[in-house]
Structures are given as C-alpha cells and as structure tokens.
Chain A
Amino acid sequence: MKNAKRLLALAAAGLMAVGMLAGCGGSSSSGASAEGASSDELVWVIGCSGPLTGDAAAYGNDVVHGAELAAKEINEAGGINGYQIKYIYGDDEHDTEKAINAYNTMKDDGMQIFLGCTTTAPTVAVAAETLNDNMFQLTPSGSALDCIANDNCFAVCFNDPQQGAKSAEYISTHFPDAVIATIYDSSTAYSAGIEATFEAEAANLGLKVVSTEAFTGDTKTDLSAQIQKAKDAGADLVFLPIYYDTAATILTQANNMGYAPAFFGCDGMDGILGVENFDTSLAEGLMLLTPFAADATDDLTVNFVKNFQEAYGKIPNQFGADAYDGMYAIKAALEDAKITPEASVSDICEALKTSMFNITIEGLTGTVTWKADAENLGEPDKTPKAVRIENGAYVSIED
C-alpha cells in the first residue's frame, strides 16, 4: 500500500514537473495550425473553443470546424492584411472551469484574438478573463445578455431575449388567435432565457398562453407528460424554444399520442432534419426563426455547405455558420483597423473595439452590422428568417 502510494506520488511529481516545463517553454500547441503558417513567421493567432466532447459536442464541433474552414479560406486568399492566420482551438467540455483552462492554454500558445465560446455559461466565465487581459472576444453562439456585458465582447448570434420577443411578435401577427403551450428546458440558459422574454412579451401582446411546462437535461428523453398537458389545455400551437435533438423527441412523442398542433421553434431548432432515426415527415409544417438555412440556394451558403461536408462529413448547422461569419467579421475588422500582428493583444483589442462598428458582413447568417448604442453594445444587427419545413426543406415565410 505504501509503495503504491509512493509510486503515485512519484508519478504526480513527474507530471507536475512536466507541466511546469511545458509551461515555462510555452511550447505546447493546442490545436491544428492552418496551412502555410510556420512558427517563426508573424501570424495572427486566433483561438476558438467549444465543447468537443460530452453532451454538447455537436455544437462545439460545428463551431470549431466552421471557424477552421473560414480561416483556411482566408489563408488561401492571402490572409488578413497580408498575414496568415494560425488557427488554434480547445475543448471546453461545456463547462466554465474547463473553458478557462482551454482559454489559458491557448493564451500560452500566443492567442491574440478569441473567437468563442460556443455555449453560454462558458462564454460568460471566459468573458471575465478576456476583460482582465483586454483580449478581443467574439462569441459565435453564446446567446445570453451576460456574454457581451463587457465592451470587449461581441456576439454573432441573436441573444435570447431578442429571440423570445421576436417569436412572440411573429406569433401575434401571424396567429393572433392561437392557443399556445410552451415546453422548454429549464436547465439550459438558452431555453430558459428565451422562455422568460417570450412569456413577458406574450403577456404584453395579449397572446393566449395556456400551459408552460419545463423539463431538465436529466429528463429530456420522455416528454409525454408535458405534451399531454399541452394537449389537455387545448393548445393548437406549441412553442419550443429548445435544441433540435429534444424537439425531435417531442415531435415523435406528440405524433404517437395523436396530437398535431402547429410547432414553432427558434434557432436551436435548426438541425432537426439531420437527426438520426427521426422521421422527418413529422417536421412538416414546423416553423422556426433561424439566421441560417443549410439548403438556401445563394452561392455563399451552397459553397460553405459543400466545403464543410467535404472536410468534416456532415451538414453544418447554424453554429458552424455563426463561427464562419465570426472569423470573417474578425478579418473585416482587422482590415478596417489596418493593424498587423506585431501589435499587442491589448492594442488589437482596442482597435477592434472601434472597428467592429464600421464593418458590414455579408455572411451566411445574413447581412450583419454591430450595434454601438450603450443599451445593445456588441449585439449583431440582423433579421431572423422565419422558415417553414415543407417537403423536407426550409421554405421562407415572407410577411
């Protein structure tokens, strides 16, 4: 027993020594560097992070890959201000503590600009660090208001209150007489955030909400009780401010119960047509607000989806699109600021903080500018597209 402990202690000492050495050298590389960037050349080091393992891995992988694709394209086209991008990424496991670890590791690798995180809570945690370091942060998909509370933080995606309010508005103009039930995930900030504003806005607009049922991450495999309550309350429109995987469960279970109301979702619903073993015919008529539709026919989207599929073997969802746009936004802002990678992290941040308001991105998620007023500082200004699923494809519903 003693010896075993001794061995362990030795192993620990060894590991710590290795850790310190790695730290002192500052040479541990955290991610795949994009082609054409060698270590002695001056490059832009842009870091990205998201959950690459665990429950939320689908989102993190799309973000990391979307940004990587954009970085590759930019490098092939000559880089930013003549300098190549060295793209690095880290795994935050959808956890605040790990997100900070990933961020610190990337800082050791010389990160100058941070394009992350993917999910909300880690983004808020890292935002405190970027504020300390005065590093520019652009989150592709962290959607709570707290994510961009600091003036060095910007977002590519809509925030949760915006989505809740937009959904309520949309429903009240198009379905003023609907009897509405809401089913949401109280254990995610995303879903709870949308639900809270939706409820408030629905009350303002005089919508008839008859039932609001919550589930949590632990209970998301069986939602028949919540669906039954919506059915019993006589709802003919069910609002689902949740992610697509659980929405697929709800649609399947509602169908089994012979309940066929109209379903309405937000941007997290995007991706539902790609769920394995899901009968996509059940999604017919489903409406959602989304900034990105993978089967849109504009050149940009078609190319992005094609390249993404070639490189990573899957159809990207809006997370990948947000990250892709985010990388191009950084490019545009750096070009606007006319700076080079020689500048310090803090100088780059200060330059980008003003340049972000000068740029307009024609991206996958629409035409995006950033709001400069104090109330919405760092918010993207873009219009969500309302789409309906018809014959297994998105069809936009115009007002």
Chain B
Amino acid sequence: MGRIKTYFSTMDRTSRDDFITYGGLLVVFIVMQGLLSAGMLSNQMRGLLVPLCVYAIMAIALNLVVGTLGELSIGHAGFMCVGAFSSAFFSKINPDMPDLPRFIIAIIIGGVVAGIFGFLIGIPVLRLNGDYLAIVTLAFGEIIKNIINALYVGVDEKGYHFSLSSVNDMGMDPLNGNIIINGPQGVTGTPRSATFAISMVVLFISLIVILNLTHSRDGRAIMAVRDNYIAAESVGINITRYKLTAFTISAVISGFAGALYAHNLATLVATPARFGYNMSIMFLVFVVLGGIGSTRGAIVASVVLTLIPELLRPIQSYRMLIYAIVLIVIMLVNWSPKSRAFMETHSLKRFLFKKGGKEDK
C-alpha cells in the first residue's frame, strides 16, 4: 500500500511539474500574442519573439542529450545548421507554393534532414563517452558548418548544379540560372514565413515529444544508461539503441529550430559565430544554467540569456561585460553550496507551504 502511495505521489509530482511547464508557456504565449495583436510590443520585442522560441527549442533539444541521456554534445549548432539550410533550400526552390503549407513542409524537411544527419553521426559517435564524445560532436559540428560554407548549389533549365569550389565551377547558365546556396554568402531571399504563433506551436510540439519521451519506458531506459550504463546493460537495456534514439530525436528537434531560424531572416549564412561551436556552447550554457536535466529550466535560461544582451543595448559596449558577469553570478548563486544552503533555509516555498525545504532530491 505504501509503495503504491509513493508511486502515485511521484506520478503526481511529474504531472504537476509538466502542468506548470505547459501552463506557464501557454500563459506566456497568450500574453505575448495578445500584446502583439494589440500592437503594444516594441519593435525590439517583436523582433525577438521568434529567436526566443528558436533558442528555447534548441535548449530543450540539447537538454535531452545532455540532461536525460547524460552525454555532452557540443555540435548541436551543426544540426540546427543542417535543418536551416535544408528547409531554406526547399522554400527557395518552391517559390510558388502558398506560404503556410510550404513553411510546414519546410519545417518537417528541416527536422527530417537534421535527424538523418543526427542518426548517421550518432552511429559512430555514440560508441564514445564523456569527453571523447564531446570532442567528436564538436568536430562534426564544425565539419557541417565548413561544408555548407563551401557548398554552391544553383538551378537553371538544365537542372541542378553543384560545386564545392566556386560559383563559376557550377557551369550554370549565367543569365537564367538561380543560385540557391552561394557558398559563404549562404542563402539569400528565404521567404520570411516564421511567425510567433507557428514558432510557439513548434516549441509546444517539441516540448510534448521530449517530456513524454522522458516519462516513458524508453525515457527511463535512457536515464538508466545515463546513471550507470554497465548496470543498464546488465539488465538487458540496448544501450546503443537508446542512445541513438535520444540523439536522433534531439537532432530532429534542432532541425525544426533551424527551419524556424532560416525563415525568420532574409539571409542565412554559416559564420563562425553563427552555427559554429560558439553557438553550440551557448546552447550548452542554456542547459547548464537552467539546471541540467530540467526542461523548464532550459527554456527559462534560454529566454533570460537571450534577452539580457538585447535589453542592455542602451549601455552599449558594456553590455557584453555585464552579460559575462551575469553568467558567473547565476552560476555561483545556482550551484555554490553556501547559496544552496541559504536558499534551502529561506525558501519561498517553505514559507508558503510550511514544508521542509529539503523535498527536492
């Protein structure tokens, strides 16, 4: 009887936790969409809505790999890059399709292509653990970025032309040809179909997939692999399979984020700062600051850390300094033993519910 009770109380807690996540997000969505429709948002905030969703999606995707699977990936910007370019490619070659269906198909294509890359890269990479895996994912991320920077694709009436060296090498008809991917100049003129509502829908779908996966049988197997893979293997869990599942799903969701990103800007380029390891590490920072393994935390951290440098624009060059200081302060406040102890004794929850502060693991 006691066991069943514990079981239900833990069940309840998960559902309650999910409820807070979904509900909070829904409230934010309704409020922001309301303000947006009423025209009460500044241009700056309006421009930030889609990027915020994109980063939140990337944060929960990476959290699946880092938090739930327990493997360090610093190549996720690479998957986002693949999703962005493949979806932009699709939209560019179908200029006559109606906007919404084309965008939905583009998002799906972005996810599928990124998923294929994630699967293929995952097969060799997931044999590794820890630091080795981190280094190899880093390398793959950079390889993807560099290949895209060297890729030229054009189309004319004779069909598609590819080159890995220059525009001239494609041998395309210079008058009627249409360059789709122009090496380091990337893709220009992608239709700007991404809206806040669609981005939020994608964020919700990603969230539902990830939370349901985490709470499912597969999710528990994935966490077993994280906690002790020898023990997991000994009870018959197919480690490679679960690692690949989590990694591929994460790549697919990164691809969705990439597709949203590509359709939010008129030009898409893969520079070292954009889609390089810098960006992968930024995603990792979202996950770590949000509390590794916490999906809601990852979303909040991604929103806060994206907003800080933008809202600090009035102070010009000092904003990067402040951003760095904020990172350090959040890290210390979050994780130093003293501040943890202080928070436990001065918990808001304890004050409200008159409970022990130590109810968390």
Contacts and interface: CB of A to CB of B under 8 A. Distances in A.
Contacts of A8: 289-290, 297, 300-301, 304, 330, 334
B166 A5 contact: no
B146 A216 contact: yes
Interface string B290-333: 11001011001101100110110110110110000000001001
B344 interface: yes
Contact of B47 (A1, A104, A196): A104
Interface string B244-268: 0000000000000000010011111
A128 B266 contact: yes
Contact of B44 (A11, A16, A23, A96): A23
Given A91-B316, A102-B313, A124 B334 contact: no
B333 A121 contact: no
Given A8-B330, A218-B272, A144 B349 contact: no
B158 interface: no
Interface in B269-285: 269, 271-274
Interface in A43-97: 52-55, 90-91, 93-97
Contacts of B184: 186-189, 192
A193 B166 contact: no
A12 B273 CA distance: 25
A124 B266 contact: yes
A392 interface: no
Interface in B334-361: 334-335, 340, 343-344, 347-349, 357, 359-361
B83 interface: no
Contact of B300 (A9, A23, A101): A9
B304 A15 contact: yes
Contact of B296 (A5, A108, A216): A5
A53 B42 CA distance: 24
A30, A192, A217 — most chain B CB neighbours (10 Å): A192
B317 A53 contact: yes
B217 to A, nearest CB: 25
Contacts, number: 183
Interface string A343-384: 000000000000000000000000000000000000000000
B219 interface: no
B297 A5 contact: yes
B166, B185, B314 — most chain A CB neighbours (10 Å): B185
Contacts of B47: 100-101, 103-104
Q: Is the interface of B mostly helix, strand, loop or mixed?
A: helix
Contacts of A90: 313
A5 B300 contact: yes
A302 interface: no
Contact of A19 (B45, B185, B333, B361): B45
A23 B45 contact: yes
Nearest to A144: B185
Interface in A1-57: 1-9, 11-12, 15-16, 18-20, 22-24, 26, 28-32, 52-55
B272 A12 contact: no
Contact of B311 (A15, A103, A195): A15
A4 B348 CA distance: 11
B45 A5 contact: no
Q: Is the interface of A mostly helix, strand, loop or mixed?
A: helix
Contacts of A192: 166, 183-185
Contacts of B311: 15, 18-19, 22
B311 to A, nearest CB: 5
Contacts of B188: 124, 146
Given A95-B271, A128-B266, A20 B35 contact: yes
Contacts of B290: 5, 8
A20 B272 contact: no
A23 B46 CA distance: 9
A151 interface: no
Contact of B340 (A4, A16, A31, A94): A4
Nearest to B339: A4
B51 interface: yes
A146 B267 contact: yes
Interface string B97-121: 0000000000000000000000000
Interface of A: 1-9, 11-12, 15-16, 18-20, 22-24, 26, 28-32, 52-55, 90-91, 93-97, 100-105, 107-108, 120-121, 124-125, 127-129, 144, 146, 186-189, 192-193, 195-196, 199-200, 216-218
Given A7-B343, A101-B44, A105-B44, 15 more contacts: A3-B349, A3-B357, A4-B335, A4-B343, A12-B304, A18-B311, A23-B44, A28-B44, A28-B313, A94-B271, A96-B274, A100-B47, A102-B313, A189-B185, A192-B185
Interface of B: 24, 35, 40-48, 51, 142, 146, 149-150, 166-168, 183-186, 188-189, 192, 261, 264-269, 271-274, 289-291, 294, 296-297, 300-301, 303-304, 307-308, 310-311, 313-314, 316-317, 319-320, 330, 333-335, 340, 343-344, 347-349, 357, 359-361
